[in-house]
Amino acid sequence: MVTHDTPTDPLLTITDLEAGYGKKPILTGASYDVRPGECLTLLGANGSGKSTSLNVICGFVKVTAGSIRYRGTEIAGLAPHRIFRHGIAQVSQARDLFPDLSVEDNLRLGAMRRGGDSAAQTLAGIYERFPRLAERRKQATRTLSGGEQQMVAIGRALMSRPGLLLLDEPSGGLSPQFCEEVAQIIDSLKAEGMTLLMVEQNLNLAFRAADRFIVLRDGKVVDGGDVRAMAGDHDAIVRNIYL
Amino acid sequence: MFLQLTLGGLSQGAIYALVALSLTVVYRSTTVVNFGHGDFVMAGAFISYVLVVIAGVAFLPAAVLAVLAMFVLGVLFSRGLIRRVRGGPHIGLALMCIAAGYVLRGIARMVWGREVLPMPRVFDIEPIFIGNLVITGDAVFIIGTVLVLLLTLFGLLAFTDLGKMVQAVYQSPRGARLIGLNVELFDDFSWGVGAALGAIGGILIAPVSLLHPDLGASFLIKGFAAMTLGGFGAPFGAVLGGLILGVAEQYAGAYIDTSLIEITAYLVIVLVLFLRPQGLFGRKAVVKV
């Protein structure tokens, strides 16, 4: 069933979500929502269900109970390619690029199933955002540095003009210098009105980029709130995550 | 004599190249080595035989129908059987392929027993004489057909959006899902294309050889040898490996001993795995510890 959303409606609503790998449950009744134009960060210790949340939303992990509604449409249980066509794109932790294809091919592929009508314009925008990729457009992506590969992964996801962008550990394995670049990329995406759902272990980046946070523990939401309201009290959040 | 042997080897090698390439298409997309592939080659040849000899269809339409039938069979095999065992132990996939191959072989044996069947000659191309070199019509037809097919296939892969998508699925199935591709559909398509290419190999060899239900076994081992030589998963390597194998068989048979023709493929597998396991175009596996 599709309902028409109002400006105040959440873009994504997750209700009592349960999912896991085989018989091992990871999410055990998580509920949260993502509002249009915000950056929500998922925090939690290892195994708390952060990355699983993103993979469930994208259809990579099977939902055993609960609901995921995107723009009012139930998407739980759909195959990844169908969810992508609804406008949800993910930049995964492993990046999952096509190593032997050129930077340009990787980017163009991002728009082949969604956003193809404006692909040329979007591609130009991505080269403007990441001039280094424009310089390396003919290079195979396996020859790029980790930071440049992350740019390709983000650029590829943006090529589909997503309504919701999921970022799984965008600073993972990158130098401090590039972490700052990632923060700037997220800032610019937010400024353009992009809705972001992010998993990030680097708390400095997480708190800098996010508008809101939620804390997952044992697959459930145990805390959450406005990042600005917690300014100066990040220690309390950290205690909640790990203790 | 050297040039004549080379030409004969290339003609034979073109068929091996096609078989190796069809094995590679399936292997690249699904990481499954189709141990029943030789019987797909045999099935393609027999379908064209039935259409030409029994139904009286002309060779070219019969060949097209046989290739289409094998494409459909490949897709159905992937959808109906392979999908069910994916995600399980790899041995399950291998056994499924072997079993399906034996079923095809069994059907052929039920109908024709162990009979050896001659396919009527269909190529009426005059041989070309260049000095002492005789280029037969068969060689022209086989090499020409395979060349056109390979150029079309590699062209599609390199220069079209569909080809880029296929490469994307080959290189990272998860990445392909992240950009909205239906990877399962591409896998089915790869099985279909693999079966169809193998069938073309069988159809090309049928008029210049003899048909029997067990002919697939020899093509399977030649395909494996060509794949090993070219590098597992390398499409261009598979083609080159097939051509080199075809020529090597001819040279070994003529210059050393004719009995070597039968075992050249096995020797190639042993030597390549011993000296250069990644083959000519494969990448060396690097394990990070």
**Domains of chain B from N-terminus onward:** 2-275 (1.10.3470)
Rounded Cα–Cα distance for residues A103 and A137 (Å): 5
Please tell me the predicted confidence (pLDDT) of residue A240: 67
A102 to chain B, any CB pair closer than 8 A? The answer is: no
Threshold 0.90, pTM exceeds:
no
pLDDT band with cut points at 50, 70 and 90 for residue A4: very low
Distance (Å) from the alpha carbon of A237 to chain B's nearest alpha carbon:
32
Strand partners, A91: A167
pLDDT tens digits, A151-195? 999 999 999 999 999 999 998 878 888 888 888 899 999 999 999
Mean pLDDT of chain A: 90
Structure tokens that stand for A21 in this block: 């790998």
By the 8 A CB rule, do A10 and A68 touch?
no
A141 to chain B, any CB pair closer than 8 A? The answer is: no
Among A81, A84, A149, A160, pick the best mutation site for testing chain B contact (most B Cβ within 10 A): A81
DSSP B63-107: HHHHHHHHHHHHHHHIIIIIHHHTTS-HHHHHHHHHHHHHHHHHH
The parts of chain B modelled with pLDDT lower than 70 are 123, 284-289
Is a pLDDT exceeding 50 seen at residue A1? no
Q: Which residues of A touch B171 (CB under 8 A)?
A: 98-101
By the 8 A CB rule, do B34 and B74 touch?
no
Mean pLDDT over A231-238 rounds to 68
Closest CA to B235 of A100, A154, A33: A100
Distance (Å) from the alpha carbon of B170 to chain A's nearest alpha carbon:
9
SS (H, E, C) B204-235: HHHHHCEECCCHHHHHHHHHHHHHHHHCCCCH
Question: Are the Cβ atoms of B177 and A113 closer than 8 angstroms?
Answer: no
Distance (Å) from the alpha carbon of B99 to chain A's nearest alpha carbon:
29
A97 to chain B, any CB pair closer than 8 A? The answer is: yes
Mean pLDDT over A104-120 rounds to 93
Distance (Å) from the alpha carbon of A142 to chain B's nearest alpha carbon:
11
CATH number of A38-50+87-213+220-242: 3.40.50.300
Please tell me the predicted confidence (pLDDT) of residue B281: 84
Among A78, A82, A112, A154, pick the best mutation site for testing chain B contact (most B Cβ within 10 A): A112
Please tell me the predicted confidence (pLDDT) of residue A232: 64
Rounded Cα–Cα distance for residues B127 and B124 (Å): 9
A60 to chain B, any CB pair closer than 8 A? The answer is: yes
- Nearest CB among B174, B177, B179 relative to A110 is that of B179
ipTM beyond 0.95?
Answer: no
